[in-house]
Amino acid sequence: MIEFDSQKQQFHLYNDQISYVMEVLPGGYLVHVYSGKRIRRFAQSQPYPHDGRSSFSPNVPDKRLQGFTLDLWPQEYPGDGAGDYRETAFEFTYADGTNATTLTYDHHEIVAGKPRLTGLPATYVEDDSEAQTLNITLKDALRHVAVVLSYTIYADRNVVTRTARVENEGDTLIRLNKVMSGCFDFTDSDYDMIQLPGAWANEKQLRRDHLAAGIHVLDSKRGASSVAQQPFIALCSPNTDEFQGEVHAFHFVYSGNFRIAAEVDAFDQTRVLAGINPYEFEWQLEPGTSFQAPELVYVYSDKGLNGMSNTFHHLYRERLAHGQYRDAQRPILANNWETTYFNFNEDKLVDLIDNAHKLGVELFVLDDGWFKKRNSDTTSLGDWQVDRDKLPQGLAGVAKAAVDRGMQFGLWFEPEMISEDSDLFRAHPDWHVHVAGYPSSRGRNQLVLDFSRPEVREEIFRQMAAILDELPITYVKWDFNRNLTEVASVGRAAAHQKETAHRYILGLYDFLEKLTARYPQILFENCSGGAGRFDPAMCYYMPQSWASDNTDAIARLKIQYGTSLLYPASMICAHVSESPNQQVGRITDLSTRFATAASGNLGIMLDLGQKDRTDLPEVAAGIKFYKAHRQLIQFGDFYRLLSPYETNDCAWMFVSPDRKDALLFFFQILNSASRPHVKLRLCGLDPAATYEIDGQQLPGDELMNYGLFIDAGINHDFQARVLTLHQVN
């Protein structure tokens, strides 16, 4: 899968689907040649402009390489201050205060499998035969600095992962101002750029624009990957749609500040760079030490956006998530948040548990408000001891009510936060992220604990462990409801202050590593005021994430459609909530709310104790339906068929790995009189098979090529239709 042609000094990483080619040019410059659909080999000499087109593209100092300019060549890890004026992959400052650095090839090694990254989550292999890794060491001998670029190609996935490690080989400090994880140079620029910007309760809104000249930056400076952007960008050919066309996608496996830049230069070439945001970042690299950048995942698809998503879904479900829940069906949960908020007592919860159990719910989750004096969001974060006023028998009483009924019990925490009104704050008024002597901004009335400090992490771990060790808890919802401000750590030397944001994330990963190792029986759900930190790094620790605080079935169509670009249904948690919806006031049918929520990892957030409810039989039927199809939804292949961003409808489907079963979801947004019929062409079926669908037996090829009219019985706003397909021969 990885070949080195020593004559041509060419690396070729390939599998049946993709190729990635690089060359070492005379002078040791490592240039990018090709990434995309599999080619047998790359034979041409490269057509890039050798002779600097003008003196404004400087030539390299080595006079033997007359005319060679870094400013025009596609590169693998472009340097700083030495003739390439495009976006740089790195910026280092040396003891003399200068920056100029040119990295050239020193040596390489090819290893079986995929080595783990120390301290950072990443995709992995279970067996060395699944992938090969190429480590190329580049050096600037004058600066005594080395960068090891690592490339892993999977044997049977359209994926190359990249990372970079910087090593200080000298005897003076190097200040790292920027260390990107990967650079991808393309010799053309006719691309559409896809991104997933968002806001609270409006996450992952798909946006597609033609890539114009200049530098386009997607980033986060919030100390978290953030609600505002996903650390993701895709470049696709303008004719690419869900079903066909080329896509190059990049997803950064990191939960903190990131920066992804796409630059189109004057010669219509495109550079994509992704890594930790250099904003408020500087790392002091002592002699003899190294700095490891997080992983960047590159996915290539020549089967449109569905092809891209399919690759991400399989990779993340099979080789990013880990632990005993990775391959396990996820329980249907009931959560009390939208029903009670902070206002509950044991009777109310037991009533909810009892009703949930009767409907077939498998896990009860007690959300925010169970600890200390937490009757509003102004207090008690950091004091993870049960509120005996609300729950006189402690958590044990509620847990027992669930366990006695054969249900599981789960609990909400927000471990990284502290309220000023808390015992923890009174004891440690300097444990939050802040600039000493400078006022702190608040978000949701709270401050952020300084997880870059081990003693802070240890105290929170101790408090959590006291609960998790005692109670039969099989699920934890880990929330994070604000972003970082005034980023500094008390006691950290001035020269190291700009390491704080990254050290915070390393501290978080260290905590999660220990927590998930100590409690393998617990299913962790990642949450951040909705999806404010729903990124691949968090998916490594927590196999499922809360997709949005917006539980409206129609608003969720766009949110879940956008989320599905990268994440499989098993990672996307979705709940059936009350109508009118509490976030947007929309009134929707229960069947529509079920259809949206059942397109992910199903939960219930209904006030089941209400005495006058007439919809409980329908809720029970929805749960029963989900149980019957859960394996297909959570572990099948997912195809988007109709986009709510482009049409008044939305449709998607799930197909089982053996193609024997499928589930089709159609949603009409607004109804109109005399609207044309909607015909859907299905995907992923066996063309030679016949499927039982909607009382008919229809051939797979007909369903995929002619399609199926789907709008029978659709006659009002916000309506859904769900059809099952089962192979009959």
Reference 144, options 112, 166, 115; nearest CA is 166
Q: How far, rounded to the nearest angstrom, does the alpha carbon of residue 276 sit from its chain's CA centroid?
A: 15
**Which tokens sit at 630?**
């859960």
Which is closer to ligand DGJ, CB of 559 or CB of 662?
Answer: 559
Q: Closest separation between CB of residue 547 and ligand DGJ, Å?
A: 10
In the bound state with ligand DGJ, the residue whose beta carbon lies nearer, of 243 and 342, is 342
Instruction: Tell me whether the omega of the peptide bond preceding residue 580 falls within 30 degrees of 0, making it cis.
Output: yes
β-bridge pairing 690-693 and 719-727: antiparallel
Interatomic CA distance for residues 416 and 414, integer angstroms: 6
Residue 527 engages ligand DGJ in binding (rule: CB under 6 A):
yes
Identify which range of 8-16, 353-361, 453-461, 523-531 contacts ligand DGJ by CB under 6 A: 523-531
Q: What is the 3-state secondary structure (H, E, C) of 7-38?
A: CCCEEEEECCCEEEEEEECCCCCEEEEEEEEC
Site for ligand DGJ (CB under 6 A): which residue of 52, 529, 636, 644? 529
Identify the active-site residue in 367, 421, 479, 649. Answer: 479
Cβ proximity to ligand DGJ, 263 vs 479, nearer residue: 479
What is the spatial distance between Cα 50 and Cα 67, in angstroms, rounded to a whole number? 6
Determine whether 389 is an active site residue. Answer: no
Is 130 an interacting residue with respect to ligand DGJ (CB under 6 A)?
no
Burial class (CB in 10 A: 0-12, 13-18, 19+), 614: exposed
Q: Find the shortest distance in angstroms from Cβ 664 to ligand DGJ.
A: 29
Build a one-symbol-per-residue string for 441-480: x at contacts with ligand DGJ by CB under 6 A, - elsewhere: --------------------------------------x-
Which lies closer to ligand DGJ via its Cβ, residue 75 or residue 481? 481
Query: Count of residues binding ligand DGJ (CB under 6 A)?
Result: 11
Closest CA to 387 of 414, 369, 367: 369
User: Contacting ligand DGJ (CB under 6 A), which of 124, 461, 546, 635?
Assistant: 546
**Of residues 527 and 537, the one with the C-beta less far from ligand DGJ:** 527
80 is catalytic: no
Catalytic residue among 302, 387, 535, 549: 549
Q: Please name which of 661, 668, 655 lies closest in space to residue 710, comparing C-alpha atoms.
A: 668
**Binding string to ligand DGJ for residues 298 to 337, with x set by CB under 6 A, is what?**
---------------------------------------x
For the chain, the distance separating the N- and C-terminal CA atoms, rounded to the nearest angstrom, is 38
Cβ nearer to ligand DGJ, comparing 124 with 371: 371
Report the residue from 20, 312, 412, 626 that binds ligand DGJ according to the rule CB under 6 A. 412
Report if residue 549 touches ligand DGJ, rule: CB under 6 A.
yes
User: Does position 368 bind ligand DGJ by CB under 6 A?
Assistant: yes
Nearest to 347 by CA among 407, 390, 405: 390
Q: Is 481 in the site for ligand DGJ (CB under 6 A)?
A: yes
The residue among 229 and 339 lying less far from ligand DGJ, judged by its C-beta, is 339
Cα dihedral 118→124→129→130 (10° resolution): -150
Closest residue by Cα to residue 235 from 260, 258, 257, 255: 260
Window 671-690: contact mask with ligand DGJ (x via CB under 6 A): --------------------
Strands 661-668 and 719-727, by their bridges, are antiparallel
Q: Which amino acid is at 329?
A: Q
Strands 363-366 and 408-413: parallel
| Among the listed residues 76, 263, 282, 367, the single contact to ligand DGJ using CB under 6 A | 367
Active site amino acids:
479, 549
Chain positions contacting ligand DGJ, by CB under 6 A: 337, 367-368, 412, 479, 481, 527, 529-530, 546, 549
